[in-house]
Structure 1
Amino acid sequence: MFSLKAALLWTISDFPAYAMLSGWSTRDGKACPRCAGDTKSCWLKHGRKFCYTGYRRFLHKSDRMRKDKISFDGKMEWGEAPKLLSGMEMLQQLNGVLSEYKKEDLKKRRIELFDHDKLQFWKKKSIFFELPYWANNLVPHNLDIMHIEGNYCDNLLSTIMGLVRKSKDNLNSRRDLEELGIRKPLHPIRKGSSLVLPLFSFTLSRVDKDIFCKVLKEMKLPAGYGSNIARRVHDQSIWGLKTHDYHMLMQQLLPIAIRRVSPKNVVLSNVFR
């Protein structure tokens, strides 16, 4: 007979579940729990969603991407990465905003959301803080990178293949570029009563899509490396992949497949490296 004791080291979840576990709202303009109140964001009028900027602050100060205005929001980035809050600092904020994790506290907090001097994005006090050691954990919450990588790769493939309903390149996104005043060659062009979208450098023609899918379909992979990707390629579209398949595509296969059909600047870009 012995006493078994357990300790919760950290949680691993996707981004929506992060909000449930940590108590930080991940839906509004301050959705990044790492940057917290120092999150940089802007509202996209046509896409009707928040766009989060300021991520170049985490790069080294000598990184050339800090000076790149064309590829980003039209501005150079010289800011410093925000300070990471410790567990004790989070607890102090929570004690000042929410005394307990109750729905009544959440309703009261929503009334003050329009007062920017008192703007808070804690929606509840996590029950994990009842653990005596939780405030001292260095990394209490983790994001499931495989889940995020799968979603990102799915959106990337849909945009490259030009799938109408799943592509992130649409009329609303082009209108937002025009609204922000960046990437002028991609702004919608009005011809008569209709709008024409200029082609991106990564836009694939029907022949290019056939070559791209053929490369993935005819790849010979080692046994046990992953599922049979050839079965997931269907008439200029790719669907039904598992999370590990998306990981292989992002890390190794996609840069090889895209090399045959895209210009050099796309192949050498950070997306496919």
Structure 2
Amino acid sequence: MKSYHITPGSRELNGTLAQLSPELEVCTRIAGFQIIHHSFPLKLMELNLVHKMDKSWMMIKDRLKSKESQQGVKSFIDFATKDLGPHDEIRCPCVDCLNGTKHSPQVVRLHLIRRGIVCSYRTWVHHGKRVPLCHDYPSASNIDGERYGAAIFDIDDNLGELPTMLEKIYMSGLMDDHIDESPNSSKRENLVKFIRLFDDARRKVYPECEKFSVLSFVNKMLHIKVYNKWSNKSFNMVLQVLKEILPKCDETVPWTLYEAKKFLHELGLGYETIHAFKNDCILFWKDNAKQENCLTCKESRYKFNNQSGKKIPHKILRYFPLTSRLKHLYMSKKIAADMRWHKEKCVDDGVLRHPADGQTWKDFDMQYPKFSVEPRHVRLGLATDGFNPFGNMSTSYSMWPVLLMPYNLLPWKCMKEPYLMMSMLIPGPSSPGRGIDVYLQPLVEELKNLWEHGVQTYDATIGEIFTMHVAVMWTINDFPSYGTLSGWTTKGYLACPNCNMDASSQRLRSKIGYMGARWHLPENHIWRRSKLFNGQNVHRSKPWSYRENKYCSKLIRGHIGCMFRHNLDVMHIEKNICDNLVGTLLSIDGKNKDTDKAHLDLEDMRIRKELHLKRRSNGSFEKPPVSYILSPVERQGFCDFLKLIKYPDGYATNISSCLTAQGGKLTGLKTHDCHVLLQ
């Protein structure tokens, strides 16, 4: 038997319908699912691909008294049993069975009259009707095979790719028999939501509108609100104006922010609110969801408003589920193809352009060959840090977003804003510290499920369902957040996670200093023999690598599978170094490291006597001049030089705008500007 395949979006058949014999079994593949037509004459009208029927009866509420409703049920039963035998059963589309249970036609008829049919089941795929695409198709009498294939898969470009993605979700859900085995499961509920979204993606905002569907209109308006930082009140006001000036609109269009968010929640873009205790003890989640008091400190879950008596939780964690957003990546043909780039198009020439070129990625592949053999499995990086959401830095408030980055994508895409996924917002007003593991529980549980069991995902590029697994490769943070996520203390004498007990820490007057920087120099470097740094020579070899380190090797022999689980953000560290270096050179208050305490530390260490503070007769101290601080003339020349530098468009900001009017002060540098200056 020959098979003729129609790929999603194709405009022609590999073998045209005119070439097929009248009694041939044809296996077509539409959006990844096989539909078998057994022994039929090749007449397009007999393929039952276009079948219009009045379905207004589905919306009638008084079904027992309405003749139109009973006649509609009869027409449905006749349509569903047209090609069946007298004893065959059909799926029941009532509001309780949801096409998950088969009954005799008589029982289905009673269910539909008494309970009603699911209003969103507008396309009777389970009863012999095809899935509609975005166009009305031309009649069969005036098209040939090639034009017929083009008509089916020609999607209106003006609607964008969103309707196409929803269509693939719609088709995959309706034709997936695994969902039908459990009609009351969450999968069935999600399918019903997507059916409604699919209808919204095809429904016009108003009858004459040709550019926006209801779904694209809501999506566009919310995007504009976020991009331009509209307040909630101004957004509602704009929607009300649009409602008044537009002609008669569809009744499903949401006209408030609350309704718009609720509208898009079914797309998988919503979030869950989880109450947390003020001391970061527990989350009131899962088994603890109904607890009124903290199980650790026994205090109340709520703070009370004396005026209204309303229960207000101390903290609210906002959790954005990850699974649905990862599945959406594969429902766009363009993005789904890019998700395999790291395996199919990454060039292995020894140049580090992408994490896939690094040794950690390759080491992970060797440890988990079953995971690495499928390029569509998702590899994530995790990052978090605190920020002030109010913009007023005098307000002491710190909120911690947790971000995830899919490293499957191309190097110039994986870190871009459209692909960054915010997983949760950890509330303030202070840093969670070691209590961050309490807030990470929902994310860890979801990630464990995706790693161990995976999730059924539809791949739009090849039109098939596969089991997608997910792994978090590493975390990326600055040094304080490194300690928060990893659990390693980043303060004190043993702050270095690589050196551990062998750290070269030393107590100074106001802090702990680490004097082991020269360890990393080559064995024969002249600075190793110099006593100018701390009065001692350095004979110790550089620190061990990850696999040579006796502490880290214990983790390798355990269940930890990644060479570098926690990593430092180089750009963040570069900015700190640049600020301190420039602040010291230009003697900027607050950023200058040439302080009185630094000179006193040199005196305590009995080195660099020429830099010791000199006591005056009145008891005050005089700071000796140093060679690494620029004079006023040198400082002005440095600033004039920066003003003359011209960068390529988009390479860096105009650094001259960061110079003060009087010169000699350089403030307001961004992270990339610091990187350019250090280079």
Give the structure 2 partner of residue 23 of structure 1: 487
Contact 1:9–1:140 (CA<8 Å) still a contact in 2? Answer: yes
SS at 1:9 equivalent:
strand
TM-score computed with the length of structure 1 as normaliser: 0.72
Q: Residue 589 of structure 2 corresponds to which residue in structure 1? A: 164
Provide the C-alpha distance between the structure 1 equivalents of 2:535 and 2:551, rounded to a whole number of angstroms: 33
Between the aligned partners of 1:249 and 1:85, the Cα distance in structure 2 is 38
Q: Equivalent of 2:646, from 220, 225, 233?
A: 220
Distance in 2, Cα, partners of 1:79 & 1:206 = 41
Aligned position for 2:534: 73
Structure 2 residue runs of 5 or longer lacking an equivalent are: 1-464
- 1:141 shift after superposition: 1.4
The 5-angstrom pairing of residues 86-125 of structure 1 reads 87=552, 89-90=554-555
Aligned to 1:41: 505
8 Å CA contact retained: 1:86, 1:138? no
Residues 183-208 of structure 1 show CA distances to partners (whole Å, capped at 9, x for unaligned) of: 11110011222211111112222222
> Residue 668 of structure 2: which of 240, 252, 260 is its match?
240
Q: How far does residue 88 in structure 1 lie from its aligned partner after superposition?
A: 5.1
Pairing 1:49-64 to 2, within 5 Å after superposition: 49-64=511-526
SS at match of 2:497: coil
Instruction: Give 2:124's aligned residue.
Output: none
The answer to whether the 8 A contact 1:87-1:138 is kept is no
Shift of 1:241: 0.8
Aligned length: 208
Which residue identity does 1:147 align to in structure 2? H
Counterpart residue type for residue 651 of structure 2? Y
Distance in 1 separating the partners of 2:473 and 2:640: 45
Q: 1:6 aligns with which of 466, 470, 473?
A: 470
User: Quick check: which one's strand share is greater?
Assistant: 2
- Taking the aligned partners of 2:481 and 2:612, their CA distance within structure 1 comes to 36
What's the CA shift for 1:91?
Answer: 7.9
Shift of 1:14: 0.5
**TM-score of the superposed pair, with normalisation by structure 2:** 0.30
Cα distance in 1 for partners of 2:570, 2:556 equals 26
Amino acid at match of 2:615: R
Tell me, in whole angstroms, the C-alpha distance in 1 between the residues paired with 2:542 and 2:636: 43
Q: How many percent identity over aligned positions?
A: 39
Q: Distance in 2 between matches of 1:34 and 1:150?
A: 23
User: In the aligned structure 1, how far is the partner of 2:498 from the partner of 2:657?
Assistant: 39
Structure 1 residue identity aligned to 2:657:
R
In structure 1, how many angstroms separate the alpha carbons of the residues matched to 2:646 and 2:600?
42
Aligned to 2:312: none
Instruction: Give how far 1:81 is off.
Output: 3.0
Contact persistence 1:150–1:247 (CA under 8 A)? yes
Equivalents in 1 of 2:550, 2:670: separation in Å?
Answer: 35
CA distance in 2, matches of 1:86, 1:177: 34
CA distance in structure 1 between the partners assigned to 2:647 and 2:543 by the alignment = 43
SS in 2 for 1:213: helix
- Corresponding position of 1:207: 633
Matching residue's letter, 1:56: R
Instruction: Check whether the contact 1:14–1:147 (CA below 8 A) recurs between aligned residues.
Output: yes
**Residue in structure 2 matched with residue 263 of structure 1 by the alignment:** none
What is the letter of the counterpart of residue 240 of structure 1?
A: G
**2:513 match: secondary structure:** strand
2 CA distance for matches of 1:60 and 1:36? 22
What secondary structure, in the 3-state scheme, does the structure 1 residue paired with 2:471 have? coil
Offset, 1:54:
1.9
Offset of residue 66 of structure 1: 0.8
Give, in angstroms, the shift of residue 90 of structure 1: 4.1
CA distance in 1, matches of 2:595, 2:496: 25
Structure-1 separation of matches of 2:563 and 2:556: 13
